[in-house]
Amino acid sequence: MKKKVTVAIDGPSSSGKSTIAKLVAKHFNFTYIDSGSIYRAITYVALKNNLIKTGDIDVVSLIDLLNNCSISFSFNSNNQNVIKLDDISVEDEIRTFEISNNVSLIAEKNEIRKYVLKIQKDISNNKSVVMDGRDIGSVVFPNADFKFFLDASIDVRALRRWNELKLTEKDLKFEEVKKDLLKRDKKDINRKFSPLRRSKDSTLINSDRLDISEVVKHIIGIIKKEI
């Protein structure tokens, strides 16, 4: 087997990326890295410090704060990343609807993307990784060994996300979740820096009619053939 393998999985919100990326990583004993969790942790820092006001961000103060705190990862027994802020896990705090609602504002800033890029490269140094996100195959690892782009229709994606979120946020309506996904898709696709794009050399998988195990099997099959 090749010494170090990089697998990029991109796609819009709730297209199944993280569930599938975790299972593929587990199969090959590669490290799974959820790049969205870095943008979410930064959004958490920004909200906590009141740096997002009326839809705008004080980027200078935010970068300053980020330079004085540490965003790091530890890995659990399944080799999945647990994101930490100043050494304390913020895995639960970053999954709220409020964070989802604000994260695209953070992700569109080039200064923030440069900060995240460094973390992405550092964490992948010298190991085989499966990383999911929006720009992994296009910007972060344009030379990745394998690139996949996962997609599904907006209603399928919104239903998946609503089912997840309503376990902890009981009053949340399906329509609110769908509206948030549409807003995020629009921002992710249209932003100036690293927009969500399918790179031409990626394998497109639409999971509207495929369950998780079918998508995972398909991806594992493609990787196995080559390594």
Residue at token pair 């999971």 = 207
| Position 16 contacts ligand CDP (CB under 6 A) | no
| Position 13 contacts ligand CDP (CB under 6 A) | yes
Is the Cβ of residue 38 or residue 219 nearer to ligand CDP in the bound state?
Answer: 38
Is the Cβ of residue 36 or residue 162 nearer to ligand CDP in the bound state?
Answer: 36
Stretch that binds ligand CDP, among 100-108, 168-176, 201-209, 217-225 (CB under 6 A): 100-108
Instruction: Single out the residue of 23, 30, 32, 36 in contact with ligand CDP (rule: CB under 6 A).
Output: 36
Least distance to ligand CDP from the beta carbon of 142, Å?
13
User: Which residues make beta-bridge pairs with 203?
Assistant: 148
Is the Cβ of residue 9 or residue 219 nearer to ligand CDP in the bound state?
Answer: 9
| Position 180 contacts ligand CDP (CB under 6 A) | no
Residue 47's SS3 state is helix
Query: Pattern 123-142, binding to ligand CDP, x per CB under 6 A?
Result: ----------xxxx------
Contact (Cβ atoms closer than 8 angstroms) between residue 88 and residue 41? no
| Position 35 contacts ligand CDP (CB under 6 A) | yes
**Interface with ligand CDP: number of residues (CB under 6 A):** 16
| Position 177 contacts ligand CDP (CB under 6 A) | no
- How many residues are listed for the chain in this entry? 227
| Position 39 contacts ligand CDP (CB under 6 A) | yes
Determine what percent of the chain falls in helix, strand and coil, rounding each to the nearest 5: 50, 20, 30
How many other CB atoms are there within 10 angstroms of residue 65's CB atom? 16
| Position 160 contacts ligand CDP (CB under 6 A) | no
Dihedral of the alpha carbons of 51, 55, 56, 59, in degrees to the nearest 10:
50
| Position 184 contacts ligand CDP (CB under 6 A) | yes
Closest CA to 147 of 4, 3, 7: 7
Contact (Cβ atoms closer than 8 angstroms) between residue 223 and residue 9? no
Residue 51's SS3 state is coil
Instruction: Single out the residue of 103, 112, 119, 215 in contact with ligand CDP (rule: CB under 6 A).
Output: 103
Q: Give me 137's structure tokens.
A: 């195959």
Alpha carbon distance 22, 44 (integer Å): 23
Is the Cβ of residue 36 or residue 45 nearer to ligand CDP in the bound state?
Answer: 36
How many other CB atoms are there within 10 angstroms of residue 39's CB atom? 21
| Position 188 contacts ligand CDP (CB under 6 A) | yes
Give residue 80's identity as a one-letter amino acid code. Q
- Which residues are at the interface with ligand CDP (CB under 6 A)? 13-14, 18, 35-36, 39-40, 103-104, 107, 133-136, 184, 188
